[in-house]
Structure 1
Amino acid sequence: MDDSVSSFCIGHHDPRRVLPVTPQAVHNAHVANYDMVTSPITTPHFHSRVMTLLSSALTDGSPSAALDIAQQRNGSPVVIPPLTPADSSLTPHASVNQIVGLISPWIDLASPDPIIADLSRQVLKLELNYAAFCGLTCVLIPGPQLAGSTGNAAGLAQYARAVLDGLGQAPFIQFHIWLPMVDLPGSDRQDMGDLRLFARTAFLPHETQAALQPDLFGSWEAWDIIRSICKYSSRLFVALDLPQLLPPLPVQSRWYSEPVRILTLEACIFVANPKGYPALSKAHQSLISRFIRLRTPPWFLLSNCGPIPPAPNGSNLNDINSPSSFPTPAESFRSPTIKDATPHLSYLRNLQSRQPPLAPIERFGAGYQDFLQAPLQPLAVNLESITYEVFERDPVKYDQYEKAIARALHDWVEQGKPTSNPDGRVVVAVVGAGRGPLVTRALKAGQDVGVDIDMWALEKNPNAFVLLQTHNQTIWNQTVSLVHSDMRTWKGPVREASETPIRQIYNKEPDEADDSLQPPTTSYAPTNEAESIGSSQPVFYKIDILISELLGSFADNELSPECLDGIQHLMNPIHGISIPASYTAFISPIATPKLYADINNSMVQTMPNAAEIPYVVLLNAIDLVSTISPGHAGSPTSESPKQRNNPAADQSPVILPTWTFHHPNNTLPPATSRSSNMHNTRFSSTTFPVPNRATIHGLAGYFESVLYPGVELSTNPLTMAAKSEDMISWFPIYFPLKQAVVAPDESEVEVCMWRRTDGRKVWYEWVVDVYLRTKGRRTRVGGGELHSSEKEGCLM
């Protein structure tokens, strides 16, 4: 599989371009190595026509201009006539799919003046209709005026309503709302001819002190309001304008979770390198490297970076319809032999070639980023070979298992424990053996530490059992005892009573200088009545080391506790070892607009309870909204070199444990009282600090497992690098919310979670509440809806 990241798709934008581009201009852009160009939809003539209508409405003394505020908010005194040929020179042509249409930047859809707002909506409608007619598939819409824009809630609602109408009238166009990364006072450019300059004073809100202060999350909050009113439309995206000085990492992470499809790079954010060529700062490079790894990476739009150079003589305009006219990657990276006419573009092409290769999890999960999958039900369904094969591609997990088995065998010998097999071999059983990878690792571990093992492999899947028999003949040399059975009904390892019963005990003095095993001392005592009287009936014996890989994305969601409860009575009651020995589930609230939209806009149409089902997801475009400052009490202290080199690691996300299961379970109730499975129910209540306002769409679930003391597995982002770096076997689990929950600045999110059972299946329930502390009191401000996956519970 290719280790490289996606190719950069780079466009050219010139704010001074006032006329729609021609096919020749698109051709010139492609020859220059651009992938697309922006184009106005209408001409300055149309702008002048609208300004004339507005001026007449405001100054001619007509009744419509003199209406009071209450009446005018519901009036439409100005009507823009349909477009004429003078209003747009854009025409349908073969290269129109390489054009990003620009909705006129002089409109103000969020204007508090009803005439301005209504005129802006009419312009938007006319331009969208004509863009759709010409075949454009993508438009850029200027975002609302910010600088405390969330105080103008009515204006934002008007803006969003206009966009929602546009989505309905142009069903084949993708909408990109053009927003700055942060809300900074004075950052909105007001050009001559902007409609907002003509808003009447009577309608303008009083400027507050808050509007004069920078608001790092103000731009995001405006976007959150817009997309919420637009019902998380799958055709609504963000075009994000990168500033010269990037905001703090929490702001960057929030935008990373949003559907950003265009990143705008102004010439002013580039700096000159030692040779005088434009380059980006390390911070900007890091941000681009992160975004380009998204499942759908954004396009890059170079703005104010010079004109498109004319195509060289002999370039054929008709070639633009041929694939050969587009530059190959090699041509994109080729160094110019003459003065570079597009140095900013050349820099981005070079930056693409210098992107680090994909990490193992990125290569393994290619195509599965932010893709919802139902968890496996291995007890109810016999898995296909390809499913086993996918799991077996993870060398890290099996290396950890082999290390745990080797340590357990070494300690068994070191501590002189008696074995359960009378012939002295340590009894090792892999339950749920699948296609046998753990069997192979266990045999290898025994050879490495020099301990003879009595190897058993149990599998209920009849198809996988056929392959196990083949492996026993071709790989394991008939050294493995195979059993086709459910582990909960298995009676345990068995031998014929006529076999000579010799129990071998390894004794090793602690002061021995070498690692060789001492000659075993042998002893024998009858293990049951049948054996003592020489009966020929089969004799069952216990398991010394029980190995399983029943863990799910949330540790216990594939019923590992229930399975291991059913076989625990077969374990050596004194010295028996379970690998894994324990596992703990972790959760954290997240913002994940894509998954929320996928469930609530699509899946609920055919599955009404889709928002109450946990999903296995390779989470990528998310924001862990609960964070603490570095050095804060309770912040993670375990840090790998990769974390130290990763700027995002400084955010210190809060990921908290819910519950833990231990094996063997020393408090397991008698078999007669286990039918209800109530001993495996759990409840947890966890509280997460949320320092910055956020919209929470669900919970991310992870796990940590102790295979054997000193050997662990982890999918927890805080500990994975230290415990099982580059492990790919498990994606996180996602617990969705039916309705997104808004958390204000400096709030707390309390999550109550249950693991429930009725003796036939196991399911989860969860509630998310948001609280604010004001005047010493904790006030609930959102959430509270109970979610239950009982209808889709995991069958026992």
Structure 2
Amino acid sequence: MASTGPLNPESDTFENRPVFYIGQHDSSRREPLTDDQYGQFLDSGFRFVTAPITNEHFFQRVVGLYKTHLAEQEQWAQQRGLTAGQQANPSLPPPVVPTLTDKDTPLSPSYYISSLVGYASPWIDLCSPDPHISSISRQVLNLEAAYANFCGVRTIVVPGPRRDECGRGVAQYARAIQEALVANRVNIIVHMPMYREPGLEEKAQTLSAIFDIEKEAEAEAEAEKEIDLFGAWDSWHTIRSVCSYSTRLFVALRIPRRAPEKELQERWFAEPLHFLTLGASIFQQNRAGNPTLSRHHQDMINRYMRLKNTPWLVLCDVGPRPEELVALSKKMASEYPSLAEATQARRDTRRQPPNAFVGYLRYLERQQQPFSAMETPVLTNFQDWLQPPLQPLADNLESATYEVFEGDPVKYDQYEKAVFEAMTEWKELKKPTSSATPENPSNPELVVTVAGAGRGPLVARVLRAAERTGTPIQIWALEKNQDAYVYLLRRNKQEWGNRVTLVKTDMRGWEGPRLQGREGVIGKVDILVTELLGSFGDNELSPECVDGIQSHIARPHGISIPHSYTAHLSPISTPRLYADISSRVVGDPNAFVTPWVVRLFAIDYVAQKAPGHPKFQQTWEFVHPVEVARADDFAAEHGKAARYATPGVGSMGGSSGTNEHNARHCHLTFVCRARGVIHGLAGFFESVLYASQTGDGATAPVEISILPEQIDKKSKDMISWFPIFFPLKKPLYFPQDTELEVSMWRQTDDTKVWYEWLVEVYTWVGPKTRIKVGASDLHSSRKVGCLM
């Protein structure tokens, strides 16, 4: 049964753009809403509201508890004649917050409890330098989280640290959050500013400020210093690292009045965002007096709304005002109102106009760009979803997998264009054909082979290109998958008029084309067409497969499509993928050494473009056909089977060395201006399917690319390949003005191919002096390598 959700294009309610889910938070609210007040919020256009877990009574009780503790400490010190500077006995009992009572919290299970978001007390100070205040704050957080969880609240927002100073403060906070996650099942959302813009913090005084005015003054002085744009992100990184990237830990991001530079926006884009909170101060007034956002804010929000898990928007302190809620409560105060009184009260509340801020956000929702061809429901579901790489030689693919590949017209359009241009230039250059015979030396039939035909999409495109160019061809299609071979036989009869010679074989063991009209004669191939490319170009063993069949390509005029392909890397920060892989380690010990295929989306490219050091850098290249192949020489001398059993001089013990020409190594340097963390390397590929052989340079090559900087130029909207991700076992933190040195190897032992990768961090401490400040382990995917 088809889904009727907003992402189902077959639904009558399908929204062709992201949907805004808008809530409200009132920092002065001390009591949860009544049923009628909650209804008023819904009438104002909100979808959910925050609710304090405890009330003013509980706050006063905690303040009284700490005052009593201070008095007891002072009395104890006086009895022993201690001066103010001398410490009390550290073994004195610390204050313990008693369990909640019905006077401490009006929150209780209700029919709309799932629409409430719990908000922890903003006066707690988990970062306090006073151990007793930090302990009390931690106890309060645990009490509130446990009770909210009991009531059915599944999400709690906890105000984040108010300062980003290095040291124990943020570490204490992180430790308290980790404890709350372990003790409860609720999701915890840490409320963080995008950066420390003055006025963006919680307004409530903390316990530290209440009991120590000097600390509050110090905090104000700290706020006047130069703003560190990445300071708040640093604190968040510490918190989630201590919590081991828990999948129940999220961030609520306070949007500042001044939108920061793109670099910081992209950094937060990669984090597990749950809420974007907007205060009234970030809105401007238009000529009509209605709230509006700057173009920079609009662009930032629209960017964040393209995430698969769209963050919810929370309007802070924008009404309905507390006095309006009190007035409503009085209207509904009668315990037994008449039917007419109840109806009139409800009408009065509904006559109020919708909240102006909500109305503007709904307008902004309608102004978003519709979903593009790359944002279909299916492709959106693939965002940041890990897939193990294919083993095309070891495994036979299912029909459904082939069908997914065939759903990309861009890829096959480019392949058809490449074949079309190859056939056109063949005629222009008057090249010989392999089908020529002594009796008919001018035979115009091109011998074309599609190796790894699958269900035949390339075969169909080759036939179409031949028809468009008027080129007679003899076409061979090779496929090792016996089930796909059956499908090809049916297509050959029903669609291709038996024009295709089908062979069920591994292309590496094929003896070559038996030419028509020349019985018993094995000929050569004029054009070899394959679609063996993987997300990294060579990761599905295209070089090895083409090596196994390239001896049949006619020399020197034979053509391979693709002609060449290059692999590219860029270091990335991707907390979501790191958390996902971490959760898989128990069942899959190789999770962190597996090159995953994934549609990267919620990521941050940490490197910047610098002279001589682009953001995306080429690792290596493969070109076909290879003029000299040791495998051919070895097979001629020892036989094909011997290459898998005869020890030789290969780099790996016991290998014959016949695949050494397909081993590769690269060493790349990336420049990072701002500090950050990397979780792995993003891999991409580009391929020249066909390059003009006329030599005039007038014809551009036919290319495909998944490189972010090039895909729109070379193969826009192509979806056949997602990038590849090489993870790091441990996140690698780096300071600002850093150079990341990436080493990668493509290794082989003649039976499989795998990758090894290493990242090192260097920073400059002088004009000519660079020191190493960090490094990853050497990762190897040998255990999950691609089998030959």
TM over 0.5, shorter chain: yes
Aligned to 2:290: 277
CA contact (8 A) 1:543 1:572 kept: yes
Cα distance, 1:670 vs structure 2? 5.0
Cα distance, 1:291 vs structure 2? 1.5
Rounded Cα–Cα distance in structure 1 between residues aligned with 2:319 and 2:359? 13
The aligned runs of 1:319-718 (5 Å cut-off) are: 340-363=353-376, 364-422=378-436, 423-495=443-515, 499=517, 538-600=520-582, 602-628=583-609, 632-634=610-612, 654-673=615-634, 675=643, 676=657, 677-709=659-691, 710-718=701-709
Bigger mean CA offset, 734-743 vs 273-282? 273-282
SS of the aligned residue for 1:369 comes to coil
- For each residue in 1:175-231, what CA deviation from the matched residue of structure 2 results, as whole angstroms up to 9, or x when unmatched? 000010002456545545643342486999899989811011100000000010011
CA contact (8 A) 2:200 2:254 kept: no
Rounded Cα–Cα distance in structure 1 between residues aligned with 2:749 and 2:619? 21
CA contact (8 A) 2:478 2:504 kept: yes
CA contact (8 A) 1:588 1:626 kept: yes
- For each residue in 1:550-577, what CA deviation from the matched residue of structure 2 results, as whole angstroms up to 9, or x when unmatched? 0000100000000000001000111011
Cα distance, 1:75 vs structure 2? 6.5
1:782 to 2:774 alignment: yes
Aligned to 1:732: 723
TM-score by length of 1: 0.85
Bigger mean CA offset, 249-258 vs 457-466? 457-466
1:142 to 2:156 alignment: no
The aligned runs of 1:179-328 (5 Å cut-off) are: 179-184=192-197, 187-192=200-205, 194-199=207-212, 212-307=225-320
TM-score by length of 2: 0.86
Instruction: Structure 2: state its 5+ residue gaps.
Output: 1-7, 10-14, 333-348, 437-442, 636-642, 644-656, 692-700
CA contact (8 A) 1:113 1:204 kept: no
Bigger mean CA offset, 223-232 vs 446-455? 446-455
Amino acid corresponding to residue 795 of structure 1 in structure 2: L
Rounded Cα–Cα distance in structure 2 between residues aligned with 1:313 and 1:565? 84
**What RMSD, in angstroms, separates the aligned Cα atoms of the two structures?**
2.7
- For each residue in 1:445-489, what CA deviation from the matched residue of structure 2 results, as whole angstroms up to 9, or x when unmatched? 111122222211111111111111111111111211111111101
- For each residue in 1:400-455, what CA deviation from the matched residue of structure 2 results, as whole angstroms up to 9, or x when unmatched? 11111111111111001001112321111111111111111111111112222221
Cα distance, 1:277 vs structure 2? 2.1
Aligned to 1:794: 786
Q: 1:34 to 1:88 in 2, by over 3 A?
A: same
Aligned to 1:111: 128
CA contact (8 A) 1:112 1:203 kept: no
- For each residue in 1:489-508, what CA deviation from the matched residue of structure 2 results, as whole angstroms up to 9, or x when unmatched? 11111136xx3x6xxxxxxx
CA contact (8 A) 1:617 1:731 kept: yes
Cα distance, 1:635 vs structure 2? 7.5
Cα distance, 1:57 vs structure 2? 2.8
The aligned runs of 1:92-111 (5 Å cut-off) are: 92-111=109-128
CA contact (8 A) 2:40 2:350 kept: no
CA contact (8 A) 2:209 2:215 kept: no
- For each residue in 1:724-771, what CA deviation from the matched residue of structure 2 results, as whole angstroms up to 9, or x when unmatched? 111100000000111110011011111110101111111101011111
Aligned to 1:8: 20
Aligned to 2:696: none
CA contact (8 A) 1:586 1:701 kept: yes
CA contact (8 A) 1:72 1:114 kept: no
Q: 1:72 to 1:127 in 2, by over 3 A?
A: farther
Q: 1:751 to 1:211 in 2, by over 3 A?
A: farther
Q: 1:42 to 1:672 in 2, by over 3 A?
A: same
SS of the aligned residue for 2:257 comes to coil
Rounded Cα–Cα distance in structure 2 between residues aligned with 1:751 and 1:69? 54
Bigger mean CA offset, 290-299 vs 246-255? 290-299
- For each residue in 1:580-630, what CA deviation from the matched residue of structure 2 results, as whole angstroms up to 9, or x when unmatched? 000000011100001111111x211011121000000011110000013xx
SS of the aligned residue for 2:381 comes to coil
Amino acid corresponding to residue 275 of structure 2 in structure 1: I
CA contact (8 A) 1:592 1:697 kept: yes
Rounded Cα–Cα distance in structure 2 between residues aligned with 1:73 and 1:383? 68
Cα distance, 1:33 vs structure 2? 2.9
Bigger mean CA offset, 268-277 vs 46-55? 268-277
Instruction: Structure 1: state its 5+ residue gaps.
Output: 316-335, 502-536, 637-653
Aligned to 2:48: 36
CA contact (8 A) 2:738 2:761 kept: yes
Cα distance, 1:68 vs structure 2? 7.0
Q: 1:296 to 1:419 in 2, by over 3 A?
A: same
Aligned to 1:645: none
Rounded Cα–Cα distance in structure 2 between residues aligned with 1:258 and 1:391? 31
CA contact (8 A) 2:120 2:156 kept: yes
Q: 1:20 to 1:209 in 2, by over 3 A?
A: closer
SS of the aligned residue for 1:116 comes to helix
Rounded Cα–Cα distance in structure 1 between residues aligned with 2:430 and 2:331? 86
Bigger mean CA offset, 748-757 vs 182-191? 182-191
Bigger mean CA offset, 97-106 vs 111-120? 111-120
Q: 1:130 to 1:667 in 2, by over 3 A?
A: same
